[in-house]
A and B are shown apart, each in its own frame.
Chain A
Amino acid sequence: MLYDYFIAPFVDMFAAPDFLMQVLWEGLVSGILYALIALGFVLIFRSSRIFNFAQGIMVVFAALTLVGLHALGVPAWISVGLTLVVMFGLAVTIERVVLRPLVGQPDIILFMATIGITLFLIGAGETIFGGENKVMITEELGIPTGDYVLEPFGGLLILQHLDITVVIVATLLVLALLAFLNYTQMGRAIRALGDDHQAALSVGISLQTIWVLVWFIAGIIALVTGIAWGARAGVSFALEVIAYKALPVLMLGGLESITGAIVGGLMIGMLEKLFEIYWGQPFLGGNTETWFAFVLALIVLLFRPQGLFGERIIERV
């Protein structure tokens, strides 16, 4: 019994190292995408204390806009540019129409407002683009669609060109974001707002500009995520649920931590895959990915309520 649960899975891993490599690779691809979505949440939360419930639907909206524009005859890369313009317009509109009138309101009101944005985008998306599954313009964007078939340890390892591209692009995007946040004036302003709202405002940092900026960055992340997931299984409103996978990442890594989002995303992506393959499927009937990440995050919260990388909150009474 103990052998089955605690030893046999590791024996399986070493018996078929090529399969283990495949599992880890799939986990890495999922993990980096989770990290990317979680970053969208973290950026907005850091700068405005808003938990952006609309991040998932922004993924769908961005992907649908891209595919929709291309369907109208707009060349693929111009469609990407125009989609970014649309996401910028969305960021400006959200700041002007939804957030600005709610400045100073309790956090829960702002959270509810993002639920409103979600419902609006669902309705608008369905009205404009329809609910049918659409094919992502992968080839038109020049994203390679073949695969490398490797034979490590005499086994089989399939690496999709698409997945490799996703990992590279997502990594570059994360690095670019980190550089932006650490080495630019605007980036520092975002961090300053996250560290101390009142102090940041008192030194002349514009809340409105920063909010537009972070929502636009969230829009860029949404577009990249939408392309990556859309290329895997088509563009439909089902993509929205992918964003919910970022919730345990945030719980694990901490809502305010960029490092936490990245490390948490990668950890959850790989660990949930390992657990599902070596423990979930043989002993628990499978489908453990639906709950594993949440249980892992809850265990971490028991010991570190602020998450692995979150800042410890000390409130004086």
Chain B
Amino acid sequence: MKHFTKLAAAAVLGATLGTAAVAQELYAPNLAYRTGPFAATGIPLMNGQADYFAMLNARDGGVGGIKVNAEECETGYSTEKGVECYEKTKGRSIVTQPWSTGITLQVLPKTNVDEIPILAPGYGFSPMADGKVFQWAFNTPSGYWDAASMILQYLQDENGSLDGKKIAFLHLDHPYGKEPLPLLEKKAGELNFELLPIPVGLKEMQNQSAQWLQIRRERPDYVVMWGWGAMNAGAITEAVKTKYPMENFIGVWWAGHDADLKIVGADGAGYKSISWSFPNPEAPVMADIQKYVVDAGLSQSNPEEMAGVFYGRGVVISAILAEGIAAAQNEFGVAEIDASQLRWGLENINMTEERIEELGLTGMVPPFATSCANHTGHSGGWMLEWDGEQFVKVSDHMLPDTSDYQQLIADKAAEYAEANAPWPTNEDCNVGG
């Protein structure tokens, strides 16, 4: 009995200390994909994300004095594994980062019940921009419809008009690849261009000769690509092989990875990618990452990768999350915020030019602000071009014409809510607020 009492006391003490130890951090898990067919895209992004939080933890003791545990749960970009990871981590997480449109769509209804914000920077379901309907979901700082809008705007500026043009839409045959279709179809009618959707199956990513034969036969004026992982390298090499003019080939931001273009090198010169982030090795934040993370042997990255677009984007993504955490901490006066407080923080990010400078992210992300109703921020971005060795900016800061699809966002959000009824909405949220 005496033994039992001692054991029980030890267990209680251990549990208390354990709880205290666990409580001294903010748990912000990342549903990473460093393995599988999409790993080539995932690794630099995950490294950038991890290194930023490692730097904050080492330099500032975390955010607001509390360390951030950005533990990864490996999904291999598989929707099933992603849902498992969500279930495994949701108990103590303040945010979930699903990293695939497929996983995002699966966990979207769950987060409403579990009340955990989804942070899906630059991906996910485009109508998530409507914060009134999707109160727990954020696709900050730009969504896929923003990307489609900017690409069409760029092509219009280049041609004067898209009237009579033919645009092939080469996309992964996956929820992600189909995301911009509603807007592209709408704009094809309005601007009188012919839209030619060309799907690429997951098993055909590296052998796209049929898709590029179709492109050769149809002779589109432009090819717009929504590719991910190995699909991008496959498409770019086929484009070179079939002698498609690279200057007429534009990808979304996930199709603008340096490693994919290095396979073709100078032959890929002229290829473009719209992007809401840009790598800046000279930015102060990169010097801090070098000092506190790389030099300390805590980084999994390498200098070549760190100079690339995707690593820089990973850094920006973690910076956005850290800004959301900081905003919540300031509002609620506590360092150890919970998931609902983080939601408030993510709804009140204000990345002004000054704040971007202050964070050391000079030139790496355009300014944007979120609100209760606007969960995207619509930061806009830059058109990047591969010059044969690296991506360079070939446009000024572009902004999407959101007026074009505000109604589409509202309609599709309402459609989703109705299909998933009863779907709780945030009635306190005023549109525009």
Which A residues have a C-beta under 8 Å from some C-beta of B? 16, 19, 22-23, 26, 29-30, 122, 126, 130-133, 135, 147, 158, 160, 229, 232-234, 236-242, 244-245, 272-273, 276-277, 280-281, 285-287, 289-290
Q: Which of A132, A147, A229, A240 contacts B259 (CB 8 A)?
A: A132
* Binary per-residue interface labels of chain B (200-211) against chain A in the complex, 1 for a CB within 8 Å, 0 otherwise: 111111110111
Q: Which residues of A contact B199 (CB under 8 A)?
A: 285-287
- B200: shortest Cβ distance to chain A, in Å? 7
Binds A, one of B6-14, B212-220, B316-324: B212-220
| C-alpha spacing A280/B243, complex, angstroms | 24
Question: A285 to B210, alpha carbons, bound, how many Å?
Answer: 13
A286 and B230 contact, CB distance less than 8 A: no
Q: Which chain B positions have C-beta within 8 A of A280?
A: 210
**Least CB distance, B304 to chain A, in whole angstroms:** 10
Assuming A131-B43, A236-B230, A237-B37, is B200 touching A287 (CB within 8 A)?
yes
- Judged by a CB distance under 8 angstroms, whether B263 is at the interface is yes
In the complex, A285 Cα to B36 Cα: how many Å? 27
The docked-state distance in angstroms from the alpha carbon of A245 to that of B209 is: 15
Contact A158 B43 (CB under 8 A): no
A-B pair number, CB within 8 angstroms? 130
| Smallest Cβ-Cβ distance to A244: which chain B residue | B203
30 residue pairs bridging A and B, Cβ less than 8 Å apart? A22-B216, A126-B35, A131-B34, A132-B40, A135-B263, A147-B241, A158-B242, A233-B237, A233-B263, A234-B237, A234-B260, A236-B37, A236-B39, A236-B233, A237-B39, A238-B36, A238-B230, A241-B202, A276-B210, A277-B217, A281-B198, A281-B214, A286-B197, A286-B211, A287-B199, A289-B201, A289-B203, A289-B204, A290-B173, A290-B202
CA A287 to CA B199, docked complex, whole Å: 6
Q: Which residues of B contact A (CB under 8 A)?
A: 34-40, 42-44, 173, 197-207, 209-211, 213-214, 216-217, 229-230, 233-234, 237, 241-243, 259-260, 262-263, 305
The answer to whether A133 touches B200, judged by C-beta atoms less than 8 angstroms apart, is: no
Is A233 touching B233 in the complex (CB atoms < 8 A)? yes
A34 closest partner in B (C-beta): B207
Interface residues of A: mostly helix, strand, loop or mixed?
Answer: helix
Q: Is B241 touching A233 in the complex (CB atoms < 8 A)?
A: no
List chain B residues, Cβ under 8 A from A236.
37, 39-40, 229-230, 233
Residues in chain A near residue B241, CB distance under 8 A? 147, 158, 160
